[in-house]
Amino acid sequence: MSLELGSDAALQATIERGGRHVLMQAKRIVDVLRGLEGGAVPATLAGRLDLTRVGAMGFSVGGAAAVQAGLMDHRIVAVLNIDGALVGPPADQIGPQAYFLLSSREAFPTEAEANSADPVIRNYAYLSIVDIPRNRRRMEQPRNYWAMIAPAAHDDLADDLFTLHRNTMFRTSFRRSAMNSAIQRLEVAYFRSTLMGDDGPLLDLVGRSDQIVQWVSPTSPTPGTARARQ
């Protein structure tokens, strides 16, 4: 979904369009589950799916769509939101599902970004600023977690981590691999815990911050951006 942030009106239109997109994508997720439940299962997966305990994962606005799908279908018991803004119903509704938010550094704008004279920079920061208290409330629920990949930009958490850009040209292959490994460990450990009852790998990771992964709690200062407006 494209972002139009050049004015306050464009920002509001983007938020409203995002909410509609979230509902549409969530309905598609639920339709897929219903299709699988109705027997539309590939032969390679026959007998291997437990549709009573499902995990949903999405990137960017897809993260909010995964949250919305969980609000619509009780079979979704765990949601992994990869750096997604909470637009649409997920902005205000907290479901019973386990929730993991994996953020980039862009989730915590600086004060300069929040007050920038450039409306695009300011409004992009706003999308994250309004979500900080929303996600902190979510962290008060059991089995809800929030971690930031500190060196990562938003697109790094999709498929851009190993793409060379001018602003990341000095990022070493070791650094990229370390970030990728951390992301994979967190995602796998979370779903092993919530869907399979294997808590060990996740418990070994939760709360252990380092140069790559920083954990966020409802009461901790915002990582790296102590002056960010909330």
Tokens of 202: 């996740």
- For residues 190 and 80, the answer to whether their CB atoms sit within 8 Å is yes
b/e sequence 65-77, b meaning 16+ C-beta within 10 Å: bbbbbbbbbebbb
Q: What is the DSSP letter of 222?
A: P
H/E stretch holding 180: helix 173-196
The pLDDT-based confidence of 173 (bands split at 50, 70, 90) is confident
pLDDT bucket at 39, cuts 50 / 70 / 90: confident
State residue 229's pLDDT score. 33
To 5 degrees, how large is the angle CA 7–CA 150–CA 99?
Answer: 80
Tell me the pLDDT tens digit for each residue of 139-166: 999 899 999 999 999 989 987 777 767 6
Q: Percent of the chain having pLDDT more than 70?
A: 90
pLDDT at 79: 97
Q: What are 53's two structure tokens? A: 């305990």
pLDDT at 1: 66
Q: 196-228 pLDDT, tens per residue?
A: 999 999 999 999 999 999 999 866 555 444 343
- In angstroms, the Cα distances linking 134 to 82, 119, 202, 220, 221 are 15, 23, 23, 15, 15
Please give the single-letter amino acid code of residue 196.
M
Distance CA 134, CA 139 (A): 9
Q: Could you state, in order of their start, the residue ranges of all structural domains in the chain?
A: 8-215
CATH number of this structure's domain 8-215: 3.40.50.1820
Q: What are 2-27's pLDDT values in tens digits?
A: 789 999 999 999 999 999 999 999 99
Contact between 228 and 129 (Cβ < 8 Å)? yes
Calculate the CA 43 to chain-centre distance: 31
Nearest alpha-carbon partner for 3 in 127, 116, 109: 127
> What is the per-residue pLDDT for 16?
95
Contact 113, 66 (CB under 8 A): no
